[in-house]
Amino acid sequence: MDRRVRRIAALGVTLVLATVMAKSSTVAAAPREADPLERSALLSPRAERAVLLGLARAGKRLVAVGERGVILYSDDNGANWGQAAVPVSVTLTAVLFIDPKRGWAAGHDGVLLSSEDGGATWKRQFDHRDVLGLYRQAADRLAKELGDADPRSRTARRLADELAADRRDRPWLDLAVDDRGRLWLAGAYGQLLRSDDGLRWEAWSSHLGTLDRHLYAVRTRGPEIVIVGEQGLVLRSGDGGDSFATLDLPYEGSLFTAQLGAAGITVAGLRGNVFHSADGGRSFDPLPLPAPVSVVASLPLLDGAILLADQAGGLYRLQGRDLEKSGVSAVGSPAAMVLADDGALVLGGSQGAVRLPGPLMASPSIESKRP
């Protein structure tokens, strides 16, 4: 696994976490020759200590996803966790629920899973072997609608041809739902899919142009969609995803998280770099953390503030342009956050899930993986 993809595995948290994921699992590994796409996740009493990369709310239930196909769920606000039945054992990076029952989890090898029972059981919808077909279908459709000479048609065909020749792991890195109920799935090397119902998916990368950078986070608010990624990439759509513009950010490092709210666009990433735009992305103001530690997760709060988590576990509350430290979490290398139904903060990272009770925020938001 090359350095670039190992960085993806930890959502940019550094190669240390990626190494933990690959070599030091707390869940016993199955034989190396077994295909993780065809091997169910191992049920283990130690699964609670697995590396966790995504968290979501499914009604009052919490759902966490992570290494080797581990999916956990908690019905007591993160105090205790049960392990779900999962048909694959690839690392999962993102999870999203649109109601207490229906949800999706995505990760390496192009895997997308779905659940209809609040995350207790899962089935595979597709993996990398099916994604190529989606890209070819998109190329054929655009060629029929716009003609072979149209720039978007040529881009879609080139993306499909490149995908057919590419043997690299292309993990999915984030899931989002917009105000029309459409699902967005973003990942490595510019991969982007869209679905109107969570069942039928369409390759959407041609709407981004010729892009080969990793897409780490997707956020939506009304018709606005923002995607952030490698090399200071910030993409914005104001028309529900029909078109995207690249925003000019005064920074070229990777961005791992973003939030959209009434106050504007906030993006954050490497070395504690945080930027905020109050004018729809026309300009960005820097709001760096006190220490140059990468910001790896963010969480919107109901009062309009944003909670940021850095690689060392530092927690920061951002309200407008005011940034203050809220504490330090016990989780190693946090990758995701969620507010439980009782208002407690739950973080997932290299040491599993950690619950931080207390008056962090009186009213819970939804989760760090939701817009």
Domain 3-356 sits in which CATH superfamily? YVTN repeat-like/Quinoprotein amine dehydrogenase (2.130.10.10)
What was the pLDDT predicted at 26? 37
| DSSP characters over 246-310 | E---S--S-EEEEEEETTEEEEEEGGG-EEEESSTTS--EE---SS---EEEEEE-TTS-EEEEE
What is the rounded CA–CA span in Å between residue 29 and residue 101?
A: 30
What is the rounded CA–CA span in Å between residue 338 and residue 20?
A: 23
Spatial contact of 18 and 4, defined as CB atoms under 8 Å apart: no
Spatial contact of 68 and 36, defined as CB atoms under 8 Å apart: yes
| Contact partners, residue 243, CB within 8 Å, separation at least 6 | 207, 237
Write down the pTM of the prediction: 0.88
What was the pLDDT predicted at 6? 39
What was the pLDDT predicted at 321? 84
What was the pLDDT predicted at 54? 98
Per-residue pLDDT of the chain (371 residues; tens, 9 = 90+): 444 443 444 444 433 333 333 333 334 444 455 799 999 999 998 999 999 999 999 999 999 999 999 999 999 999 999 999 999 999 999 999 999 999 999 999 999 999 999 999 999 999 999 999 999 999 999 999 999 999 999 999 999 999 999 888 999 999 999 999 999 999 999 999 999 999 999 999 999 987 889 999 999 999 999 999 999 999 999 999 999 999 999 999 999 999 998 889 999 999 999 999 999 999 999 998 988 999 999 999 988 899 999 999 999 999 988 888 887 776 768 999 999 999 999 999 998 999 987 655 433 333 333 32
Q: Among all chains, which residue has been given the structure tokens 């790896």?
A: 296
Q: What is each CA distance from 90 to 24, 104, 342, in whole angstroms?
A: 15, 15, 32
Q: For 302, what's the count of Cα atoms within 13 Å in the CB-facing half-sphere?
A: 9
Structure-block tokens of residue 248: 């000019």
Q: Among all chains, which residue has been given the structure tokens 């780490």?
A: 216
Taking residue 163's Cβ as centre, other Cβ atoms within 10 Å add up to 21
Question: For the chain, what are the domain ranges?
Answer: 3-356
